[in-house]
Amino acid sequence: MTSSIDHHSLPETAAETLVGGAPVSTDILAIALTRAPRLVAADGGADTVLAAGLRPARVIGDMDSVSQAARAAFCDVLAPVTEQDSTDFDKALRQSQAPFVIGVGFIGARVDHFLACLTTLARRREAAPCLLLGDEDCLCILPAEVRLKVPIGTRVSLWPLGPATGQSRGLEWSIDRIEFSPGGRVGTSNRSTLPDVWIATQGAPMALILPASQLDAMLEMLKIWPRDAGASAL
């Protein structure tokens, strides 16, 4: 993978692509970097960055999964955080000054790691937005009220991280008057019936899961793309 952008020299306030240790295709990494050009690795994600022929601005984590080759290549940007009470994903987000973060290498591989990331996103629902992007899906925590512009028939899945309720317009199965919970009713595999979907939620955080092809729609919904993302890259 080659790039004309110097991903490691951008200011800390630029939109950030955070690379985790799960497998990441070069296509997904390139898509993320186009929208969030500052490159940071979380622990073992440093090896993904090294294999892609790129250089991160920083490698953050407890360093238990970084190969010797990546340690040597990125020795000047290692930022070890030794405490064991949080994940490397959480550590990296706590240190980020970016207006938004796209995380790749966090969906897939180990389910327990992904669930820990989802918990971190829920806890940080009031912080700068973070989206997770994989080959099949993109995911974020929903703000209280959003408008989502997607093609009719797009898969729109909602996953509650606690008791929650909501209202919707433009979904095949309305979420009005439904009481959601992780151990009760969830909202997976819904579909859009209008090009402009409205969703409002109350209560616990709710994750929105869309096809990966709708990443830009998710960024637009969160009001961080394209205008803000482009501005942050300069």
Look up residue 163 and give its amino acid: P
**In angstroms, rounded to a whole number, what is the distance separating the alpha carbons of residues 25 and 9?**
23
How many of the other CB atoms lie within 10 Å of CB of 233?
17
**In angstroms, rounded to a whole number, what is the distance separating the alpha carbons of residues 121 and 204?**
12
CATH value of 16-135 in 3.30.1490.20, 3.30.70.580, 1.10.3720.10, 3.40.50.10240: 3.40.50.10240
Average pLDDT taken over every residue of the chain: 92
**Res. 148 pLDDT band, cuts 50 70 90:** very high
**In angstroms, rounded to a whole number, what is the distance separating the alpha carbons of residues 108 and 131?**
14
Rg (CA), the chain: 18
Secondary structure E strands in the chain: 16-19, 38-42, 58-61, 78-80, 101-104, 130-133, 137-141, 145-149, 155-160, 164-169, 187-191, 196-203, 206-211
Percent of residues, the chain, with pLDDT higher than 90: 83
With a cut of 70, say whether residue 137 has pLDDT above it: yes
pLDDT tens digits for 83-136? Answer: 778 899 999 999 999 999 999 999 977 899 899 999 999 999 999 999 999 999
Domain ranges of the chain: 16-135, 145-207
Per the DSSP assignment, residues forming a β-bridge with 199 are 146, 168
- CATH superfamily of domain region 145-207: Thiamin pyrophosphokinase, thiamin-binding domain (2.60.120.320)
